[in-house]
């Protein structure tokens, strides 16, 4: 188990994927810096991560996937922005939304990594932003700008690099198993946000985001391994972020750092999640936190983020155990079938 945590895996991911991701994230954040709209630039950079869904073997398939996910990014932010008026309604909405996204990705055969993670992340961030109806259209516009940039760069990438081959087969599951997994995923993500609100955490979106990240594992052991890797990587990453913030970097330095960190993360995340989590932690702090929080109290910020991520990782680990528990699956699918038969008999 310990060896697996620190083991570097072999991967067939091309070197240009991390570079492409860095460009997609970098253009919006630099645009925000030079136009004086850093908050909007950060939103656009987060949505530009949609480029990571281009893992197809065909040009047409890649662009269809990219445009579909771009719409999903904007929808995710819209759902979060609309239901952010109440923390408890927001937690319920996030749970239902996460369930719907997880279920939809299976039917669309788009359940390969990163899966539902970025949709949940965008929705969580939107839910925890100060509720203001007047800012929703502008913020969705920033999200749209990020996805457009990724679509344009993705088009160039697919034309230059991707060759039309047969898409890799996706793993199919029964509709009952998909429903049970989606309901479990949605419940745990919504529950994690509810816990964050009950604990009155300053930035509660870190908890469901960490929960969703840990639950991306392919088995119970993998989920717990990812949880441990995330906690260890986060602990080291917070130390790195703390030291960097004590140096009081300029906004431009932070923009450049975000680009470099994104490239490093995409290079490492398929090789070793624990090491990648170090840079993910620094990246997300630079990208998600406001400028005032970063400059005023870096020590308090770092301590708060560790608590947030630890809580989310523990809930995600529990959710992963439920998600891949065969007995729970069998009982749930059996009950769904019985309910369906009972409903059909009444008609």
pLDDT of residue 144: 95
Q: Assign 3-state DSSP to the chain and report helix, strand, coil percentages, each to 5.
A: 80, 0, 20
Reported as a single tens digit per residue, the pLDDT across 2-12 is 666 667 777 77
Reported as a single tens digit per residue, the pLDDT across 295-321 is 556 777 788 888 998 899 899 888 888
What is the crossing angle of helices 175-198 and 117-127, to 10°? Answer: 30
Better pLDDT: 73 or 230: 73
pLDDT of residue 216: 80
Mean pLDDT across the chain: 84
CB burial string 170-180: b at 16+ within 10 A, e below: eeeeeebbbbb
Reported as a single tens digit per residue, the pLDDT across 84-104 is 999 999 999 999 999 999 988
User: Cα separation of 23 and 21, whole Å?
Assistant: 5
Instruction: List phi, psi (to 5°) of 142.
Output: -65, -40
If pLDDT is split at 50, 70 and 90, which confidence band does 171 have?
low
Predicted TM-score (pTM) of this structure = 0.85
Reported as a single tens digit per residue, the pLDDT across 199-253 is 999 889 999 999 998 888 666 676 777 778 878 888 898 889 888 888 888 889 9
User: Cα separation of 151 and 79, whole Å?
Assistant: 22
Contact status, residue 226 vs residue 270, Cβ threshold 8 Å: no
pLDDT of residue 290: 58
Reported as a single tens digit per residue, the pLDDT across 137-158 is 999 999 999 999 999 998 888 8
Reported as a single tens digit per residue, the pLDDT across 280-294 is 888 988 887 655 556
pLDDT of residue 170: 54
């Amino acid at each position: 188990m310990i060896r697996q945590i620190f083991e570097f895996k072999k991967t067939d991911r091309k070197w240009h994927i991390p570079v492409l991701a860095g460009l997609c994230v970098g253009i919006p954040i630099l645009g925000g810096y030079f136009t004086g709209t850093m908050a909007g630039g950060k939103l656009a950079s987060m949505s530009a991560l949609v480029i990571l869904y281009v893992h197809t073997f065909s040009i047409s398939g890649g662009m269809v996937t990219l445009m579909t996910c771009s719409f999903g990014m904007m929808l995710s932010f819209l759902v979060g922005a609309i239901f952010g008026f109440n923390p408890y309604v927001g937690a319920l909405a996030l749970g239902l939304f996460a369930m719907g996204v997880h279920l939809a990705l299976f039917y669309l055969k788009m359940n390969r990594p990163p899966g539902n993670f970025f949709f949940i992340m965008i929705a969580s961030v939107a839910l925890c932003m100060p509720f203001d109806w007047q800012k929703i259209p502008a913020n969705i516009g920033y999200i749209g700008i990020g996805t457009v940039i990724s679509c344009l760069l993705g088009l160039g990438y697919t034309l230059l690099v991707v060759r039309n081959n047969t898409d890799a087969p996706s793993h199919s599951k029964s509709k009952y198993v998909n429903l049970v997994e989606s309901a479990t995923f949605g419940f745990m993500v919504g529950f994690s946000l509810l816990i964050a609100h009950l604990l009155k955490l300053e930035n509660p979106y870190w908890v469901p985001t960490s929960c969703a990240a840990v639950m991306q594992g392919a088995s119970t052991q993998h989920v717990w391994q990812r949880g441990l890797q995330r906690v260890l990587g986060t602990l080291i990453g917070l130390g790195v972020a703390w030291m960097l913030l004590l140096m009081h970097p300029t906004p431009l330095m932070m923009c450049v750092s975000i680009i470099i960190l994104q490239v490093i993360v995409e290079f490492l995340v398929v090789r070793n999640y624990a090491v990648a989590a170090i840079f993910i932690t620094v990246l997300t702090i630079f990208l998600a936190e406001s400028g005032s929080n970063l400059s005023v109290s870096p020590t308090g910020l770092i301590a708060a983020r560790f608590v947030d991520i630890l809580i989310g990782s523990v809930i995600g680990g529990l959710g992963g155990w439920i998600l891949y528990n065969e007995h729970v699956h069998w009982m749930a699918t059996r009950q769904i079938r019985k309910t369906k038969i009972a409903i059909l008999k009444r008609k």
